[in-house]
Amino acid sequence: MGFYDPMKNQTYLNVPAIRYFLEKGAQPTGTVHDILRKAEFKKEFIK
């Protein structure tokens, strides 16, 4: 799905895969939710 390295402040998100699983009803953890929000991921996918 991606990775987040706080030491280097690097984030990589596999957007198609994330979108696929969120559309299927997956619920992100709190940390993942925050990362998606910071990345300005489409709001209809994160509540």
Range of the domain at 17: 2-38
Sequential pLDDT tens for the chain (47 residues): 899 998 998 999 999 999 999 999 999 999 999 988 888 876 666 66
Distances from the Cα of 24 to the Cα of 5, 7, 34, angstroms: 27, 32, 20
Any domain includes 18: yes
**Cα four-point dihedral sign 15, 5, 47, 23:** positive
Query: Counting beta carbons within 10 angstroms of the beta carbon of residue 21, is it exposed (0 to 12), middle (13 to 18) or buried (19 or more)?
Result: middle
Instruction: Determine, yes or no, domain membership for 20.
Output: yes
pLDDT at 46: 63
Number of domains in the chain: 1
38 within 8 A of 9, measured Cβ to Cβ: no
Distance CA 3, CA 24 (A): 21
Residue 44 lies in a domain: no
